[in-house]
């Protein structure tokens, strides 16, 4: 029986066979504003507060201050958790010249291992893998660095969620390298019918697990993300 790391996000663990397999690296993919970062932060927050599993959140596209401010809107006090060494929010900025980025990239990787060790992290989020790849010049370097990142987090014993940007807002997406590399893939997308729009969730794959890949409605509330594991999206049910 594969051990699972529970996301604790309402509805999600039921649909993916109990949780993310331990030490897996999965992708949460979706269009702009669909809720990827909220989802990923909730995974880290729940780990720290519900499961006694510290987590590292790597933000490539935003500052740790902003990330904390967004979380505050859901009532999540990340400063407090950071002081208690239950979470760490690490910036991996994408600016700077190539050389600096490469040097910085290497230094920051060391920092990541140290951070994981320091707080005894069991969970990692990379938000986002799409921008992470832009740190490197060519396709081969991108792929090698992504594989290195995946190896590093797996070796450290962490269970990892990588956020990926998706240009299409539908379940019929163009699959990318990382979708195949990852052990699991969860899609967030808009379902539309006439003037109605509704967030939806689909578990596309989770290696070694029995999953339910039906489309399910998803909401962002003032408590965070909720997936409704048995409901049919209203936009699909209507004629
Ligand atoms: N309290 C709330 N209630 C309802 N919706 C909210 C609340 N707080 C944030 N949102 C929604 O969350 C969305 C942003 O979610 P998030 O930042 O996770 O998206 P994302 O997929 O990471 O976007 P991007 O691709 O731009 O990084 C906003 O568009 C907003 O509508
Ligand atoms: Mg985001």
| Interval 126-131 mean pLDDT | 92
The environment of the single-atom ion ligand 2, i.e. residues with CB closer than 5 A, is 37
3-state secondary structure of 179: helix
Nearest CA to ligand 1 atom 15: 35
- 108 pLDDT higher than 50: no
| Interval 97-104 mean pLDDT | 46
CB atoms within 10 A of CB 71: 24
Would you kindly state where each structural domain of the chain is located, as residue ranges?
18-184
Nearest to 123 by CA among 233, 186, 41, 234: 41
Task: Out of 9, 32, 35, give the residue to mutate to test ligand 1, the one with the largest number of ligand atoms within 8 Å of its CB.
Answer: 35
- 94 pLDDT higher than 80: no
- 27 pLDDT higher than 90: yes
Ligand 1 pocket list (CB less than 6 A): 30, 32-38, 73, 165, 220-222
pLDDT of res. 106: 52
pLDDT of res. 236: 82
Nearest to 183 by CA among 77, 28, 8, 76: 28
Residue 163 alpha carbon, nearest atom of ligand 1: 22
Look up the CATH superfamily of 18-184: P-loop containing nucleotide triphosphate hydrolases (3.40.50.300)
């Amino acid at each position: 029986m594969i051990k699972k790391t529970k996301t604790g996000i309402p509805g999600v663990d039921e649909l993916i066979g109990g949780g993310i397999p331990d030490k897996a690296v999965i992708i949460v993919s979706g269009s702009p504003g669909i809720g990827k970062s909220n989802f990923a932060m909730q995974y880290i927050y729940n780990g720290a507060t519900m499961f006694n599993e510290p987590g590292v959140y790597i933000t490539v596209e935003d500052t740790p201050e902003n990330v904390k401010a967004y979380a505050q809107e859901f009532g999540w006090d990340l400063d407090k958790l950071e002081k208690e060494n239950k979470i760490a929010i690490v910036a991996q900025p994408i600016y700077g010249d190539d050389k600096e980025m490469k040097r910085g990239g290497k230094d920051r990787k060391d920092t990541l291992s140290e951070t994981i060790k320091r707080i005894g992290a069991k969970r990692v989020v990379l938000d986002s893998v799409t921008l992470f790849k832009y740190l490197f010049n060519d396709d081969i370097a991108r792929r090698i660095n992504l594989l290195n990142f995946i190896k590093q987090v797996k070796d450290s014993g962490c269970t990892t969620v990588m956020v990926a940007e998706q240009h299409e807002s539908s379940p019929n997406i163009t699959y990318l390298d990382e979708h195949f590399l990852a052990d699991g893939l969860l899609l967030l997308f808009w379902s539309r019918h006439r003037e109605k729009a509704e967030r939806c969730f689909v578990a596309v794959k989770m290696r070694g697990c029995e999953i339910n890949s039906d489309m399910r409605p998803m909401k962002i509330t003032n408590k965070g993300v909720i997936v409704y594991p048995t409901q049919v999206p209203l936009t699909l049910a209507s004629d």
